[in-house]
Chain A
Amino acid sequence: MAAVDLPLPGVAGRPGTGPGPGVITVDAGGACSLRVFDAGLACCGVEVAAALRRSGALAAATAGNQLNVFVVAGTVTDKLAPYVLEAFQDTPLPRRVLSFGACANSGGPYWDSYCVTKGVDQFIPVDVYVPGCPPRPEALLAGLALVLRAGD
């Protein structure tokens, strides 16, 4: 069966007009703009995608300083942990880490599993923890606002 070529996501149904996969710029009111790198590992990834799609300023909003936020959304398994660490190390400075959802905070409902890392803060430093299972998309925006407040 031949591979299917899917168009890149776009704004308002126009394919290819959106940003590349994984990086969305959020205009945080002019003082600083956030570039959000979303590691959408599991169900929480859908909520992050919804949040960023609704409120990201998809045009190049580079007002003020640019801060890179590495969002870990979803369950981190022991097998995937080295790659999450690599993705974190590849995030350019200045960077913050936002842990989204119960699984990324502490292992969540899978804290007892034989193969789940009990929280992404076991191996990368986390700045903000957003609780929820999954948190609402608006909770991500509140968490990003806390990243800005805490970083000052």
Chain B
Amino acid sequence: MTGGTPPAGGPPAESPPAESPPAESPPAGGLPADSLPARSRGVIALLEENCTVCMLCARECPDWCIYIESHQEPVPGAEYGGDDPARAPAGRGRQRVRNVLDRFAIDFSLCMYCGICVEACPYDALFWSPEFSYAETDIADLTHEQGRLREWMWTVPPPPALEEGQRPPRD
């Protein structure tokens, strides 16, 4: 259900030092990712395999910054009656269909990083990643399409260790 993320056992949550040492020149990449707090909100990543195009994220987004386009396709081999069409009762049942994602884009120039989409997704297809250095010279490049959202998945950290007294997740 969670798409293969390992169970809790990541690095313990710790806060970054209060004052970074003054640098001669500002580091281009910023802080290394493991010095950021757990669950830092930097960018949103999409795991397309989990997405069923329910569109709850696009509907719940307060800024209307998630753009989804999709269509429906018949599922091959799922005709009523299975492999033997002769067994399909005449006049009843319908072809099973599935949703296919054509376009999934998040406009990060509008996004306010509230996380409602990540929480609303019932299939855990959206994840937080702490990456924050993705400034652009053209504002159109701040709309990240499917390919780029998948690349952010490689930067999603494992879930942080359970806090004391917290019940483990059911799945």
Contacts and interface: CB of A to CB of B under 8 A. Distances in A.
Interface of A: 26-30, 54-55, 102, 105-109, 111, 119, 121, 126-133, 135-136, 138-139, 141-146, 150
B25 A143 contact: no
Nearest to A103: B112
Interface of B is mostly: loop
B20 interface: yes
B110 A128 contact: no
B159 to A, nearest CB: 21
Contact of B132 (A29, A121, A132): A132
Nearest to A145: B28
B109 A138 contact: no
Contacts of A26: 26
B63 A142 contact: no
Which 6 interchain pairs have the tightest Cβ spacing? A138-B30, A29-B25, A141-B26, A142-B133, A109-B112, A105-B109
A56 B93 CA distance: 70
Interface residues of B, number: 31
Contact of A138 (B22, B133, B137): B133
Contacts of A105: 109-110, 139, 142
Which of B110, B111, B136 has the most A CB atoms < 10 Å from its CB?
Answer: B110
B135 A146 contact: yes
A26 to B, nearest CB: 7
Nearest to A51: B26
Contacts of A121: 139
B136 A128 contact: yes
Contact of B134 (A108, A119, A131, A133): A131
Contact of B113 (A29, A54, A133): A133
Given A108-B112, A150-B137, 10 more contacts: A54-B19, A102-B109, A121-B139, A129-B137, A129-B138, A133-B111, A133-B112, A141-B26, A142-B132, A146-B136
Contacts of A132: 113, 132
Given A111-B63, A119-B139, A54 B110 contact: no
B31 interface: yes
Contact of B135 (A28, A119, A129): A129
Contacts of B19: 54
A133 B63 CA distance: 12
Interface string B122-152: 0000000000111111110010000000000
